[in-house]
Structure 1
């Protein structure tokens, strides 16, 4: 049985530095097990994203501390464990795979969330040229059954340079390009979430490839207009 949910439930109830200091051993033991599971996920995703194999689990796991400097929520710690797997690292603008573990709110996700303006411009250009590929990806029965549709906050109107009646306007209006699927508490506790996550990540591959192709020259500065 995995220890994550009992610890995270207690953390959510007593979210303070005093509580965390008093339960540091519990936290470190739980985090250590999470790092072991992340190692398994890294190896699994590395079967098709070989660039990830250079990373260590700690490179993919988010800090437990929250940045509260500009937030109205002053709770010091996140009530979840999160890991992000991207070939260029956690701070990359490129597409990646995400796992969150939280009581009654665990899920896998992937894609690109709120990219910078130049990256978003590149994605929209790829949609303009090849939006039919996104239609095929989203229409795949296995993809649709697990994720529903490509999701994200949308513009209320069409983006600049694109007509409102564009064939792929629903994709062009997106400001994020993500998919997600819930994981039950039971699957977290049993550890079966690892295989569930890997299967979900595999089904994201066509979307990840589309997004990576769209922005492949953004981060190194080449190909910018």
Structure 2
């Protein structure tokens, strides 16, 4: 059975929503929204099943299109994209997968978007001791071809307790450890798009395996779980 692919109707709906982001228009086009949402849900569900062949993902979450505008200056009631996440099985597996559908701005992301304070310090301590392995992973040809480089917000200087002249300060300063890959609308509409997403997610596994090992052991390599 062929994999579900995203039809032009989904992006046609999102393009129209961008021009008419109000409740009256949305209610008048509720059927188009439901059809688009159902197709995206099916796409995510199939990805979730495929994940089980090479990773332990225990949850898929498709985000609601309704925006929480209570504390936002932007009062538009609807998001102009579809997106969702896949969670790896905790506590032994760390990291997460994200997929974002938006005309002209479709991308996937993987990594650690908002690590807890303790986890972030543990990662930094590991890099302080030895950054050889993580550099080998993110500089591997397949990794660089798929994602380019490691991304994420970072501090302007060294975190408290770390040497600003440390050879791995570029990694230690980071507050996030993520990678992204963008896709054109043409790629999204192609029948093999789901395969491209899976291949990208497979490429991140050495990074996830390494980070999971770091976050489930102490500085002496003793298991914490």
Question: Structure 2 length normalisation: TM-score?
Answer: 0.86
Partner of 2:121: 121
Deviations 1:139-172 (A, max 9, x none): 1011111211101111110111111121211000
CA RMSD of aligned residues (A): 2.1
Match of 2:23 among 8, 17, 22: 17
**Do the aligned residues in 1 keep the contact of 2:56 with 2:89 (CA within 8 Å)?**
no
Gap regions ≥5 residues in structure 2: 1-5
Deviations 1:68-109 (A, max 9, x none): 2221111111111101111259xxx94111111100100111
Partner of 2:190: 190
**Do the aligned residues in 1 keep the contact of 2:57 with 2:86 (CA within 8 Å)?**
no
Q: Secondary structure at the match of 1:32?
A: helix
Considering fraction of residues, name the structure with more helix. 1
**Do the aligned residues in 2 keep the contact of 1:183 with 1:193 (CA within 8 Å)?**
no
Question: Structure 1 length normalisation: TM-score?
Answer: 0.86
Partner of 1:177: 177
Counterpart CA distance in 1 for 2:81 and 2:217 is: 33
Match of 2:10 among 4, 9, 13: 4
Structure 1 residues 113 and 51 mapped into 2: Cα distance closer, same or farther (>3 Å)?
closer
Counterpart CA distance in 1 for 2:128 and 2:137 is: 16
1:1-225 pair list within 5 angstroms: 2=7, 3-52=9-58, 55=59, 59-88=60-89, 94-216=94-216
- Once the two structures are overlaid, the 10-residue window that deviates more, 156-165 or 171-180, is 156-165
For residue 117 of structure 1, report the CA deviation from its aligned partner.
Answer: 1.9
Q: Secondary structure at the match of 2:88?
A: coil
Larger radius of gyration: 2
Gap regions ≥5 residues in structure 1: none
Counterpart CA distance in 2 for 1:73 and 1:118 is: 33
- Once the two structures are overlaid, the 10-residue window that deviates more, 167-176 or 110-119, is 110-119
